[in-house]
Amino acid sequence: MRQLLSDRAALAHQALISCRLCSRDCGVNRLQSRSGAFCRLDEKAWIYKELLSVGEEAVLNPTWLVDVGGCSLRCLYCSEWSQVVQPRGGPAVELEPQWFAGRMAKRQAQGARTLTLVGGEPTVNLPALLQALACCPAPLPVVWNSNGLVSPQARALLHGVVAVWSLDAKFGNPACAQRISGWPADVTHPDWLATARLALQTPPQAGLPPLVVRHLLMPGHLECCTKPVLRHLAGLAAEAGQLMFVNLMTWYAAPRQHPRLCQAPELHEDVREQQVREAVDVARRWLGPQLWVNGRPLPPA
């Protein structure tokens, strides 16, 4: 595995000459400059938070959660906004491979059974993350927590490296995706489906499902987003069976005094209980045993 990781890291580093790791297809030479890169990154990755977490899906816990700066989207309600648009800003520190290997050993000793790489978006940090993983004698199974804007090039580099793809299926139509998250207009929506199908080709490791898909129920988006996403996922689940799980998250709370939400006034509201009940009922009917709600398996009706 270390040789595979080292080889993939070298290929990913070479790809930065004309970066097309995410679906934005910027083509920027990130080895020379971060100017013009949507993610605002050069070849370095910046960690702004890491901890041993039990707050992910139950099957992944305890996990070593590592947050890296930079992203390929600009979600209006993003709670990590400062690190998304200023990945080098405090409290971020440059990812140093030897430190990463030492900290992984520490978190393993504390009980971590997986490593969750998140952000921001880990895909825009792919070369530095692969290099760090290559320095680990026995890396934890990798959970790649992604918004789904993963190019075919990046998917190929990650195939055989990632144990679990944790994908955010945010929107059910291009208009909502573009208005709320800045989804690129020239990229097929939903782009995450191609990554999901790749994940389902991954043999399960250490009792882990190769695919977890998350969907956040947002106020006013039950019909236009949640139900279409659940329809997509029902089709995948019929193919995949127990190889995938869907986490329907119902805990959206409107950010108060959030200036960017003027472009999506409906997101100033909290999700109504009626919407939660309807979403859970539909998801239970379409997904059955593949459904979790807020990170836990749903009890039988």
Q: What is the pLDDT of residue 259?
A: 66
Domains of the chain: 2-297 (3.20.20.70)
* Beta-bridge mates of residue 292: 247, 297
Q: What is the pLDDT of residue 258?
A: 66
Tens of pLDDT, residues 183-239: 998 888 888 888 898 888 888 888 899 999 999 999 999 999 999 999 999 999 888
For residue 89, is the peptide bond before it cis, meaning its omega torsion is within 30 degrees of 0? no
Tens of pLDDT, residues 167-177: 999 999 999 99
Taken in order 31, 34, 35, 38, is the CA torsion positive or negative? positive
Q: What is the pLDDT of residue 264?
A: 85
Q: What is the pLDDT of residue 205?
A: 87
Measured at the alpha carbon of residue 172, what is the angle toward residues 63 and 69, in degrees to the nearest 5?
40
Low-confidence ranges of the chain (pLDDT < 70): 256-259, 300-301
3-state SS track over 218-263: CCCCHHHHHHHHHHHHHHHHHHHHHHEEEEEECCCCCCCCCHHHHH
Q: What is the pLDDT of residue 207?
A: 87
Q: What is the pLDDT of residue 179?
A: 93
Q: What is the pLDDT of residue 77?
A: 86
Of 128, 120, 156, which is closest to residue 45 (Cα–Cα)? 128
